[in-house]
Every structure is written in C-alpha cells, then in structure tokens.
A and B are shown apart, each in its own frame.
Chain A
Amino acid sequence: MSGLKEHGEALGLLARILPFSAVDGPGNRAVFFLQGCNFDCAYCHNPETRAACTGCGACIPACPAGALSPMERRGARTIPVQWDRARCRDCGACAASCPSGSSPRARLVTPTEALDEIASARPFLRGITVSGGECTLQSDFLVALLKGARNLGLPGLVDTNGGRPLAAEPRLLEAAEGFMLDVKAWNEDEHRRLTGADNGPVRDNLAFLAARGALYEVRTVITLRAPGFNAKPAESDTTSDDPQEGAFDLEETVRETALTLARAGSRARYRLIRYRPYGVRHERAALLREPGSALMARLTELARRGGAAEVIVS
C-alpha cells in the first residue's frame, strides 16, 4: 500500500477518524484509524479494519441506506466500492456482510485532507494518535500525516502491533512523538496462535523503543482461552480467575514485559486491558473468556514488581 502519491502527497487508506478521544494517549486526541493489518488477533475489536477490500460487492445490497455503489477511481488507485458518507447511517451492516474482514467505508485520502477533517476539533486537542488496522504498513502516508500534524502544533503518537521492525524506520522514529505498543503474548507459540504472527519483531521493538525513550504506553490484553480454543466454542461460564486454564501464560507476558521496560529505564505506562467481547467476531468471542478481578489484581501487582513505572487497568 505504500508509495502511492497524488500531487506529490502520499495517499493513505483510511478506515475512519475519531475527532476527539480520551483513551488514545495523553489528553484529548484525534485518532486516525488506517485500514489494513498484518495480524489476525482472536480478540480484534474492529475486525473490519484488517483487510483490504477485494471488490466482491457483497456489501452493496446489504446497505439499507443505499449508500454503496460500485467503483471509485482515484489516480492510479481504485476503490472497488464507493461509499456515500452523506447517506450512511453508520449501522455497520456493510462490515458485517463482508466475507473478507474489510469495510467499504475505507477511503483514499491525502494527509492534508485527513487533517482538514479535524479542523473544528483543533482547539480542544493536545495531539493526534494514528492507529489501525496497523498504521506502520502505510509508512509513507503515516510519516506525512505525522509531519503535517506536527506543523499544526499537534504531536502524534503511533499505536502499533510492533509486527514490523521499527529500528529500520528512521523517518517514522523522527516524525512520531512516541509509540504505543501492544505486547499480546511473550511466548512465541502463544503469540502465533493468538495473532497468526510471530512476536520476534514485537519483542525487539519493545526493547528498542524502551531504550530510546520513545514508548508512551505498552498494552497487553488480558484474556483467557476457553476450553476448545482452536477447536470448539465454549458452552457456559464467561469469566475465570485461573491463569493456567487457558494455557496462555499471562504471568510470563506481564512479567517479561515489565522487566524489559525496567531494564531499559523506560517511564512508559503499562496498561493491562481486560478483554471484553464487544465488537469481537462471534466465532472468536466464543473461544475467549474475560478475566476476573482477582486475576487482574494479581497481574497488576506482578507488573509493578517487575518494575513498570506506572500500571493502569482498563
């Protein structure tokens, strides 16, 4: 997706903009969600931002507002389904009907266009956050967006799954105010089963960004595997306090992440996110369990003892 330009500006595939957010970094921030992801996390809360549209058109008849029609061409790029924002009722039927985990609402935009859309929110903002999908997959656009925002007095945080080695991205490191990194599992096999991707780059990025002082926040979603993960859906019981039950080694993930931060002298916050099933694909949600408060408290204590500067539970 990288490298496309219009009038010298990088084009980005944008899933949506949230002009005002309290939960994506310090203060009020506008959040840009880019389309496309290289992970396939079991607990993904916005699965429609993962894939690119294949142009199959399944969503067009699914839209009750008649906001979708075939084909939009822009420069060298084609968006297979055209989305009429004025008609859209934001009901989500299109994403629900998509067989490939995409959304027809993703748009091709330039950084200038993207930033114009948050103009009315600017007096209330401390900065921007670029998230996804996985925003580092569109690095030309991402760097241009961060620089454009910085010129408006809005420093930008990058929210990443850490799947690409950031040490190899000097332009991005220079343009970003800081990074928010997900560490989904410390164990390699566990990470692969949870996300479909290797965690070697994630662990390297954690150590690299921590040592650089470029980490604002590290996050781990705390979830338990229901009986039948990768096999069959769970029947009842949706919460558990037993860390062994799901065979996810949550304690190792939390401890090693905190230790890595401490070794690097990082002041980053470590956020432990209680898994909740909202927005998660039904067939995946059936295989995951929410952690109980006793487990959250135990992991919080573990993160503190490991040396994390600040531990937050949400």
Chain B
Amino acid sequence: MNQTLDTIRNTTLTYRQKVLALARAGEERTQPLAIAPEVQALRDAGVVCDLNEGPAPYRPRYVLPDYARFLDQGSAFLRQEPPRDLLGAVFALLGLYRHIPSITGYPVWVGDLDALLEPFVQRDPAALGPGGELSPAAERLVSLFLEGIDRDNPDSFCHGDLGPDTTAVGRAILRHQRSAGRAVPNLTLRYDPARTPEDFAEAAALCALDAAKPSFANDPLFRAEFESLGLAPYAIASCYNGLPVGGGSCTLVRLNLARLACTAAHTLGDPEAFINGPLAEAVAATLAYIDERVRFLVEESGFFESSFLVREGLIAKERFTAMFGIVGLAELANALANAEPGSRERFGRGGAADTLGARVLAAIDRLVTAHRSPYLEAAGGRYLLHAQVGIDSDRGVSPGCRVPIGEEPPLHEHLARQAPLQTPFIAGSGDVFAFEPTARANPGHIVDAMKGFFASGGRYFSCYAADSDLVRVTGYLVKRSEVERLRRGEAVNNGATVLGMGAFDNLGVLDRAVRR
C-alpha cells in the first residue's frame, strides 16, 4: 500500500505515468497463474524473468493491428467511416492508436507509415508537387501526424515502419524526423537491396545519424521467414521485434544467461554437461512459464472474446505467437571459456568464447524450435526467439548476443562476427553503433556497413552520431537532455526516459565505441 501512496505522491511522474503505475499496483493484488516450484525458483533467482509484465496477463504484450484493413473498412465500434483523403486518414489513425492495448499502455506499433498514407497522396492531385514530392500542405500534414504520434504516445517503444520501397510519404517522414528531435515514433526502414534505392537508404542513414532512427531491418530475411511460418506480412514493433501484422505476441519471457552462469557456476567446467543440464532445464522452465502466461491470456482473461479489434478483424488470435527472449550470452560464453577481461578468448574476439556462445545459442534454438504451445496456432504453436535488450536494472548483463560495451572489436570484425549470431532470432535481434559525426559527410559508409552486415546474415542495424541528442539505448530511444532533466528531479513526458537513465548508469551506453 505504501508503494501505491508513494506513486500518488511522486512529483517526477506525469498523470498518465501514475495511472499506469496504479493499474499495475491493482493487477498485483491478484496472482492467478499456476507456477511450478522449479519455475518459481528460477524466477526468484533472476534467471527467468517476465520483464515486469505483471502477474495477471489481461492483454497481449505486443499488438500489431492490420491498419490497412482499418483504413479500408473504418470501424463500427469507433463509429469511424473509411477515410477518403490524407487528412481523414491521419485523424482516423491517431484516433485508433488510443485503443491499442500493449504492455506499455501505448501502441508498440503504429503501422507501415509510408505504405498506409501513400495511396491517399497518390490519388489526390493536390497532395503531390512537381518532382513527385509532397506538396507543402501534404508535407505539413505528415509532419503534424508524426508530432501527434509523439504527443499522444510518450513512450519510446511506439514504433513505425518504412520501406522497402521509396515513396513520397517515406521521404517526407525522413525529412521531418531528421530535424524533429523527437524520440517517438521509433522507426525502421525495411531494407531490400533489390527494392530500396541507394539514395533512399542514404537519406535514412543521414536521418539516423542526427535522430538515431530509422534503424535498418533485413527485409528479405524477415519476409522469407514469416512467409515460411505462414505469418506474412511481418512488421517491426517496439524495440526491433519482428512480429506478424494482424496479430503480435502474447508475452515475452527472457532467460538471463548471465545470471544462469552465476547460479550454475559449478557446472561450467564441462560445456556439454552444462548445455544438457542447467541450460536445458532453464529453457524448459522458461517455456513452461510462457505456456502458463499464454494459457491465462487465451483461456481466462477474455481478451480475445471482448476486444473490438478481434471482432472487426484487425487482429486475430491465430496470428499471435509468444516470444522466448535471451539476454547475456556474452557473459555466459566468457564464463564457459574462462576468458578473463583482456583475453583474446573473450566473446567478440573470434576465440573460444565465440565458439562456445554459438554452441549455447544453437542448443537454445533447437529446444525452443521443438516446443509447441498447447494454446496457440500461429506457426503451429512455435514460440519465436528474441534477443532481449535488457532492462534498466540489469548490471553486467549484455543485451541479447551483443559484445559488452567497452570490448567491441573493430567495426568490420564486429559486424562479421555478430551477423550470424542474429540469424536465429526470428522475433528480432539488433546491434547499435555510434559513429563519428564526420560520417555525415559520407552516408554511403553507413549503408555499405549495413549491406555487408545483412549479406552476412545480420538482421537489424541501428546507428547514431556520437554527438546526437537522441541516443539509442538498447532498442529504444531517449534524449540525453531529457535524462538530465530527470536527474534534476523534473517530470518528463516520455516514460522510457527513466529506463534510459538506468541504462546510461548500469550499461555504460554512452561509452560505446565510436566508429569511423
């Protein structure tokens, strides 16, 4: 109860941040999940973690509505007619976003922003100026749309997608975002060398240097995987989560490999025994916990029976999967290789820890891929691997499979070694690079690095210039200037700023190697 009162009296939380915290406090008064003792023991040890998702799942963690269908048919529930023009489409979307449930209380996906709006532009002669760019009025409307998303959804996990094709709206979005200095929406350009023109990719790279977004996603890789799972089309939501459009993910539970290296320290001398023993048991416990969270959401919460999004066909239960996250592979691999700091065998150096890390990852992939959920139909009940980025309270735990900050090898070696490690994570993995500000004079440098990374099996590439106010923390963005305001005890609108402050302090995010 004191915590509830503390939340009410807190002066650094905004009203909406308080409402979300109080809703959580209410949820915590019930504990409806049946959790086996061995699973609970691993949760207590911090090995298995639901990332503060709450004890009673009452909505999927990530919801990706079919916005194109919404614009096509309108919504009976919202009394929304299908919009006829760009202005109508912008208002309709901003209105719908308020009704999208998620873990954060704000939509984690706002759609394929360019593809959603481009048809309205192409059918309106007044919306296009000479040269195929937006008219000033249409450009202003797109800018107001983006600013509206930021104002309505002060949360850095609110994510929109662009590409792979270049469009007038897509180019306008990059122009606006480059100078807007706004953390929301997070953005991804889905890059396909066969479809994305070089100048569009370079415009995205220049935007990313100034605004830490968009990131680049390996579109041919994601597309092929989601097609083979019967879950196309896909989108990138939240941090960098690849998920089916018209569905999403019920939950994300992570296995903290760095913690497991501590709790199972006595078994690390024999990697084979560790993989078949403690690791396999921890994977099984994580899967069992995901099963139980999914069971409650699907069978007891009533979400899929009551949501108008389901009724109107904007989402379907059959398109919801669940995500199996891992974090801290680097720390586990170093422990298995007994590689002390400075050793050439350290993770990311191409030595023993890399070999052992790859073995651990292959074992997890095998176990997760073999599991079938009794409650979900998407991908035949298979859960999708996700390289989790960590939470603000993590210390000494590197995101997903990343190399710890401070130990990064030279850029081309880093990219070549990280690329194959990203491949198994169908539901997303990513790496972040800080570049010298001089990279602005040569955006082709960024594009070349990204292309080589994707050609080597990489999935997702983020960058920013070392002097940019916007910084990509792990998967989400915060403004350095907002973190400083929060440190002074002032309320800040974006709820993710407090997470960024923790990551600045605990992960050394501002100490990333600066690439040139």
Decide whether A and B are members of one complex. Answer: yes
The 8 Å CB contact of A124, one of B441, B453, B516, is: B453
A24 CA / B449 CA spacing, docked (Å): 15
Contact mask B443-464 → A, CB, 8 Å, 1/0? Answer: 0110111011101100000000
The answer to whether B444 and A27 touch across the interface, beta carbons within 8 angstroms, is yes
Contact mask A37-50 → B, CB, 8 Å, 1/0? Answer: 00000000000000
The answer to whether A314 and B452 touch across the interface, beta carbons within 8 angstroms, is no
On A, residues with C-beta under 8 Å from B are 19-23, 26-28, 120-121, 123-126, 312, 314
B412, B438, B439, B444 interface centre (most CB from chain A within 10 Å): B412
The 8 Å CB contact of B410, one of A20, A26, A126, is: A20
- Interface size on B, as a range, is 20 to 34
* Residues of chain B lying within 8 A (CB to CB) of residue A23: 438, 441-442, 516
Which B residue's beta carbon lies closest to that of A22?
B445
A27 CA / B442 CA spacing, docked (Å): 6
A22 CA / B448 CA spacing, docked (Å): 10
The answer to whether B438 and A28 touch across the interface, beta carbons within 8 angstroms, is no
The answer to whether A27 and B412 touch across the interface, beta carbons within 8 angstroms, is no
* 12 A–B contacts from the bound complex (CB under 8 Å): A21-B516, A22-B436, A23-B516, A26-B442, A27-B444, A28-B449, A28-B452, A123-B416, A124-B412, A124-B416, A124-B448, A125-B452
A136 CA / B188 CA spacing, docked (Å): 44
The answer to whether A26 and B416 touch across the interface, beta carbons within 8 angstroms, is no
Which A residue's beta carbon lies closest to that of B454?
A123
Shortest beta-carbon distance, A275 to chain B, in Å? 16
Given A22-B436, A22-B438, A314-B438, decide whether A120 and B412 contact each other with a Cβ distance below 8 A: yes
A314 CA / B437 CA spacing, docked (Å): 11
Shortest beta-carbon distance, A293 to chain B, in Å? 15
The answer to whether B410 and A19 touch across the interface, beta carbons within 8 angstroms, is yes
Which B residue's beta carbon lies closest to that of A313?
B441
B115 interface contact, C-beta 8 A: no
* Residues of chain A lying within 8 A (CB to CB) of residue B449: 28, 124
The 8 Å CB contact of B445, one of A27, A121, A312, is: A27
The answer to whether A28 and B445 touch across the interface, beta carbons within 8 angstroms, is yes
Which A residue's beta carbon lies closest to that of B515?
A22
B118 interface contact, C-beta 8 A: no
The answer to whether A126 and B444 touch across the interface, beta carbons within 8 angstroms, is yes
The 8 Å CB contact of A121, one of B412, B435, B451, is: B412
Shortest beta-carbon distance, A300 to chain B, in Å? 13
A193 CA / B447 CA spacing, docked (Å): 41
B413 interface contact, C-beta 8 A: yes
A125 CA / B453 CA spacing, docked (Å): 11
A196 CA / B441 CA spacing, docked (Å): 31
Shortest beta-carbon distance, B447 to chain A, in Å? 7
The answer to whether A120 and B452 touch across the interface, beta carbons within 8 angstroms, is no
Shortest beta-carbon distance, A159 to chain B, in Å? 15
Which B residues from 144 to 193 make CB contacts under 8 A with A? none
The answer to whether B516 and A22 touch across the interface, beta carbons within 8 angstroms, is yes
Given A20-B412, A23-B438, decide whether A123 and B445 contact each other with a Cβ distance below 8 A: no
* Residues of chain A lying within 8 A (CB to CB) of residue B436: 22
Given A124-B452, A124-B453, decide whether A22 and B439 contact each other with a Cβ distance below 8 A: yes
The answer to whether A120 and B413 touch across the interface, beta carbons within 8 angstroms, is yes
Given A19-B410, A20-B411, decide whether A312 and B452 contact each other with a Cβ distance below 8 A: no
B415 interface contact, C-beta 8 A: yes
Which B residue's beta carbon lies closest to that of A20?
B412
Which A residue's beta carbon lies closest to that of B516?
A22
On B, residues with C-beta under 8 Å from A are 410-413, 415-416, 435-436, 438-439, 441-442, 444-445, 447-449, 451-453, 455-456, 516
A64 CA / B456 CA spacing, docked (Å): 39
The answer to whether B416 and A120 touch across the interface, beta carbons within 8 angstroms, is yes
Chain B contact residues: helix, strand, loop or mixed: helix
A20 CA / B447 CA spacing, docked (Å): 13
* Residues of chain A lying within 8 A (CB to CB) of residue B412: 19-20, 120-121, 124
The answer to whether A28 and B441 touch across the interface, beta carbons within 8 angstroms, is no
A22, A27, A120 interface centre (most CB from chain B within 10 Å): A22
Known contacts A22-B445, A23-B438; 16 further A-B pairs (Cβ under 8 A): A19-B410, A19-B412, A21-B516, A22-B442, A22-B516, A23-B442, A28-B449, A120-B416, A123-B452, A123-B455, A124-B411, A124-B415, A124-B452, A125-B452, A126-B444, A314-B441
* Residues of chain A lying within 8 A (CB to CB) of residue B410: 19-20
Which B residue's beta carbon lies closest to that of A126?
B448
A28 CA / B445 CA spacing, docked (Å): 5
* Residues of chain B lying within 8 A (CB to CB) of residue A22: 435-436, 438-439, 442, 445, 516
Given A120-B416, A125-B452, decide whether A312 and B441 contact each other with a Cβ distance below 8 A: yes
A21 CA / B411 CA spacing, docked (Å): 10
Which A residue's beta carbon lies closest to that of B444?
A27
* Residues of chain B lying within 8 A (CB to CB) of residue A28: 444-445, 448-449, 452
* Residues of chain A lying within 8 A (CB to CB) of residue B416: 120, 123-124
Shortest beta-carbon distance, A23 to chain B, in Å? 6
Which B residue's beta carbon lies closest to that of A312?
B441
Which B residue's beta carbon lies closest to that of A118?
B412
A124 CA / B455 CA spacing, docked (Å): 9
A260 CA / B444 CA spacing, docked (Å): 28
* Residues of chain B lying within 8 A (CB to CB) of residue A21: 516
A124 CA / B411 CA spacing, docked (Å): 10
Shortest beta-carbon distance, A149 to chain B, in Å? 15
Which B residue's beta carbon lies closest to that of A271?
B441
Shortest beta-carbon distance, B368 to chain A, in Å? 29
Which A residue's beta carbon lies closest to that of B455?
A123
The answer to whether B456 and A123 touch across the interface, beta carbons within 8 angstroms, is yes
* Residues of chain A lying within 8 A (CB to CB) of residue B447: 27
A123 CA / B455 CA spacing, docked (Å): 7
A22 CA / B452 CA spacing, docked (Å): 15
The answer to whether A125 and B441 touch across the interface, beta carbons within 8 angstroms, is no
* Residues of chain A lying within 8 A (CB to CB) of residue B435: 22
* Residues of chain A lying within 8 A (CB to CB) of residue B453: 124
* Residues of chain B lying within 8 A (CB to CB) of residue A19: 410, 412
A108 CA / B416 CA spacing, docked (Å): 28
Which A residue's beta carbon lies closest to that of B456?
A123
A123 CA / B450 CA spacing, docked (Å): 10
Shortest beta-carbon distance, A24 to chain B, in Å? 9
* Residues of chain B lying within 8 A (CB to CB) of residue A26: 442, 444
* Residues of chain B lying within 8 A (CB to CB) of residue A20: 410-412
A19, A120, A124 interface centre (most CB from chain B within 10 Å): A124
* Residues of chain B lying within 8 A (CB to CB) of residue A123: 416, 452, 455-456
A265 CA / B441 CA spacing, docked (Å): 23
* Residues of chain A lying within 8 A (CB to CB) of residue B452: 28, 123-125
A60 CA / B85 CA spacing, docked (Å): 77
A85 CA / B455 CA spacing, docked (Å): 31
A277 CA / B456 CA spacing, docked (Å): 39
A20 CA / B414 CA spacing, docked (Å): 12
A274 CA / B441 CA spacing, docked (Å): 15
* Residues of chain B lying within 8 A (CB to CB) of residue A314: 438, 441
Shortest beta-carbon distance, B445 to chain A, in Å? 4
A28 CA / B439 CA spacing, docked (Å): 10
Shortest beta-carbon distance, B96 to chain A, in Å? 41
* Residues of chain A lying within 8 A (CB to CB) of residue B456: 123
The 4 A-B pairs at the shortest CB distance, nearest first, are namely: A124-B452, A27-B444, A123-B452, A22-B445
A121 CA / B445 CA spacing, docked (Å): 13
